[in-house]
Amino acid sequence: MQIIFGIIAIILAFIYGCLASLFGFLFPNYAPKAEIRENLDMNIKSYYIEFHEDTHGGFHGDGEEIIIFRPNQEQIQKIEAEWQKTPIDFGIAPLIFPENEYNGLELTKYIPRTEGFWFYKNRNDALYSYNFSFAFFDGEKVYYYELDT
């Protein structure tokens, strides 16, 4: 009986993996748009996304994600009205621009250190991990960064 349940579990996991891969192939920009909508409260079109890299998929979904997109005029007004103006808070800056060597997606090579507006959302549900979203607007592009550990 345990063997049958094991085989059924393997078959279901395989089917789930196939469906997830098919969904990712058919809708390649679905996830980034959903995360921007959820964490920044913005709807963006796929063609506004200039760069997307995601390393999520590790243990419990650990990973990093960078999305670079150009906001429309309405979104720029929202950013300027609701986000913080630089400088970035001294408690948040070390998370975004660490002083030591960075081994992940090398966030500092994507996000410029210029004047602009920034947004930080702590999505942490545990005391021993980092789960946050950070976005920076330099007047032209939004650089969205998400870390889940």
pLDDT at residue 105 tops 80: no
Where in the chain are the domains? 28-148
Say what the pLDDT of residue 44 is: 80
What residues contact 15, with CB distance under 8 A and at least 6 apart? none
Q: pLDDT tens digits for 111-149? A: 777 889 999 988 876 666 778 888 999 999 999 888 877
Q: How far is CA 87 from CA 46, 114, 120, 133, in A?
A: 30, 9, 13, 17
What residues contact 89, with CB distance under 8 A and at least 6 apart? 120
Q: pLDDT tens digits for 49-63? A: 888 877 766 666 677
pLDDT at residue 32 tops 80: no
